[in-house]
């Protein structure tokens, strides 16, 4: 077993690591090793096979499928916010969500600073892995009936 070190991380980083968890048996170390593609042949002396970090689960909801690694953006109150699909969930700086509306609601605040709920399908755009163009996710939802 490799030597263990302690590092300090902020809450957003901890939430992002937790969002990558595939099972309750997987430790934070296991998650980071998988995401960083650290394996037996990396020259670092760490045991275990390398895992393809891009092989995460897609996010699927209401007939829309966004692959692992899909980039997302949303404009709200004059600011642009970003998220990414990681192993089947929406990961934002503000936290982790399971739907476009949940992700939008993590960001949305009233003028008085109170939380509010938004229909995320109206706000988010997606850029699928390997593509250059952004597409409103509402358009992706509309395409499912074609």
Please state, in angstroms and rounded to a whole number, the distance separating the CA atoms of residues 140 and 121.
10
Q: What's residue 50's pLDDT?
A: 33
Q: Which two tokens stand for residue 97?
A: 């969500």
pLDDT mean for each 10 residues of the chain (146 residues): 73 83 71 67 37 68 90 92 94 92 91 87 93 92 61
Structure tokens at 89: 């969930």
Tokens 């755009």 appear where? Answer: 125
Continuous segment of H or E residues that includes residue 15: helix 11-19
pLDDT number for residue 110: 82
Which contiguous run of DSSP H or E holds residue 80? strand 79-86
Output the pTM of the full model. Answer: 0.60
Nearest to 28 by CA among 45, 42, 47, 7: 7
């Amino acid at each position: 077993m490799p030597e263990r070190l302690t590092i300090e991380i902020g809450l957003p980083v901890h939430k992002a690591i937790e969002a990558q968890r595939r099972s309750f048996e997987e430790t934070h170390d296991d998650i980071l090793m998988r995401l960083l593609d650290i394996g037996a042949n990396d020259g670092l002396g760490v045991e275990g096979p390398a895992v393809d970090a891009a092989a995460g689960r897609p996010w699927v909801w209401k007939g829309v499928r966004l692959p692992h690694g899909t980039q997302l953006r949303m404009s709200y109150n004059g600011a642009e916010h970003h998220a990414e699909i990681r192993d089947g969930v929406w990961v934002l700086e503000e936290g982790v969500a399971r739907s476009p509306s949940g992700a939008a609601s993590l960001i949305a605040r009233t003028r008085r600073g109170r939380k509010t709920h938004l229909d995320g399908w109206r706000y988010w755009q997606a850029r699928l892995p390997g593509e250059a163009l952004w597409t409103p996710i509402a358009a992706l939802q509309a395409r499912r009936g074609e």
